[in-house]
Structure 1
Amino acid sequence: MFDGVHDRRDSRSVKWERMEKIYGIDDASDVLPMWVADMDFPAPPAVTNALRERLEHPIFGYSYICEECKTAAAHWQKKRHGLSIDTAWMLFHQGVIPAMASIIDVFTVRGDKILVTPPVYPPFFSIPKNLGREVLYSMLQEQDGDYQIDFADFEDKLQQSRLFILCNPHNPVGKLWAASELEHIIELCAKHDVLILSDEIHSDLIHHGETHTPLLSVAGTERDRIFTCLAPTKTFNLAGIQAAMIVASDPRKRSLLEQHMQAHGTGALNAFAPVAWKAAYEQGEAWLSELLEVLSQHISYAIERLEREVPGLKIKRPQSTYLLWIDYRALGLSEQEAMQRLLQKGKVALEPGSKYGEGGRGFLRMNIACPKSSLQDGVSRVIRALGPARNA
């Protein structure tokens, strides 16, 4: 399942077929993509079997999320994370990014300030800006690969903000927020009457010995100020099927979101999304367990080789996700130089850290969710580009 190499070219894959556009290069045919966060693994057989069965019915009309889909998601959250969700709290959307946009559009107005904590997933600041909101940045503080919130600066910025967007688990640094950190975030947001949007799309990709704490699980009486965005798409490599949900306990806020979705025609999912959703949550757990074991091995392999063969590279082992956050500051290369070496000499596409905000400059994000042979090739390419012989 996880060793076979599947050629993704000619499948309309953004990851494999849009590198020329994304990286501004003439020909990427020999460049290995290890950038955007989707996996080069097949979806769980239970999902593909369910989709195949659905294809046997030749009519693909309007579809809806059934009660069994909602129950499957609720059971999954309870079993995996100890989080109890009432199915009445669920609203469905085409993805976490459009769900975020809907929340921002409904509960803030043009000119409102939205707080984010870079380095962080770029739509956290691009979506608010595109909607005419002002983005405030409270930079995460990094020391030896560990990231913390500067709570003095965070509270100062909260006093000017209407909404805070939390990445939990954090992309790109792979951090799991401790319950005490989440409780303090909620305490400060309640103090200054700030809403919280918690993106928890990576919450199932938790490595052995670690625990994800859903923000709602520590919210107590403040749960109505929280919107949680969840999806099976990152977990089970289903991004192209486009399905996500917003969990909102406040019925008034849900009603406002439903009105917005009706006004914009965004409340319905495609005919295949409910099929994949239900199969993944009901039958995907064994597949996920195997995936997490593979990812753990890949992370160990990549970190060991990269740190050993490129002196100066530092990589903090992520607590979650299949993404490495590589610190190359000791190499003395500018971001432009590092990217040029990777693309031209290494023939490998990683993501530049500044994409996640200025706090990411000097870092690279590397996706290791691929067959072992591809990983070995990709690591060798990074070493060729950034290793001691790079000036030869």
Structure 2
Amino acid sequence: MESSNCLKDFFKYASFNVLGMLGLSCYILADTFFVSKGLGTNGLTALNLAIPFYSFIHGSGLMIGMGGGTKYSIQKSQGAHQQANRTFTNAVFLAACFSVVFILIGIFLAGPVIGLFTSDRDVFAMSETYLRVIMLFAPAFLMNNVLLCFVRNDGAPQLSMAAMICGSLSNIVLDWFFIFPCQMGIFGAVFATGLAPIVSMLILSPHFIRRKNQFHFTKCRPDRIRIIQILSSGIPSLVTEVSSGIVMIVFNSIILTLEGNVGVAAYGVIANLSLVIISIYTGIAQGIQPITSRSYGTGNYHTAKQILRYAMTSMLIISAAIYVFVFLGAEQITSIFNSEHNALLQEIASNGLRLYFIACPFAGFNVIISMYFTSTEYPRPAHIISILRGFLIIIPMAFLLSAAGKIHGIWCSFPATEFIVVIIGILFYQASKKRKKA
């Protein structure tokens, strides 16, 4: 009976979160599709130069939301409701502080930052617009991520899923409306994306209006120790998101020297499809977090391990299906975004898809095992895994393999990195078994 309930909880939380994360990932995929159709290769290049900076916003929101949500779930399972409320209040305070920083960057630094990566006048103008507007919407993105995580840990994963999907659907509809009927260009694309988290929060609002929420604002000063705990638990989520942005910046720079703007546009297709696929693994990981944290908080370590087994099995099945789909449909996937029927873009992206996504099972393992460590208040291995796959291995690997194999080396650097980190993750997990609370 316990095993049956455990499996039921896993499918409930994981399925809702996978669907929600797929919806959330369509924020950028919709931009990619409509920009490619409406603005061509230059628009796709401009979008790909600006998107990495969105990762900093999204990653900061996830860091605060996942870190605060994990702490909240453990405290709630232990009956420490006042402490749980203080955790929520401090999480909102952190989101406000980060929002101010991003707004200032958008106002004063958007142009200089984009100028570091392109001298093309048209590409620069579009990238600068996208970056400035997305930064001004940072408060909405941050607060939406915090509320999604807390509502999920408050026993309402279905509402979090609905909010993420509705936000994404609104983005898709508004993308089309602003770019084509309204002829608003790149501004229309980013404006639609910025409105999406606002729609998402409106969907979440009944949880508070009907007073179903068990977390509340409470009068307290910012607590340095609590803030450090939130950030520490959420750092792997931040590193995962931010590293994807930094890797995109590095890859863009290398690809520009190898294949020019067409190569960057081809990488845009691959990178944005990667966001969708990684979102599936993130959905599984975020789905197991509330159950694992609750089990850990009540001392039920067997259930936590069983949930991890379910997550890994599901990940392997999904990875196999994804790679077969990508391998067989690479040309068709690329043609969707190749509105100008550029033969070079078609060739580069199709070959890249088949090589890049060899990483699927390795990346899935690393995302899930990092969340498991974080959910059981053992964040150090998660920090190391996230930093290794996000910075320390993949960036040198990109330079090394691109020197050896040109553009094909770039595509192979992602699976090579994830495979190395899998070995390290397995060693950490074996070591964690020796801990009394593993």
Report the TM-score, using the length of structure 1 for normalisation.
0.31
Greater helix percent: which structure?
2
Report the TM-score, using the length of structure 2 for normalisation.
0.29
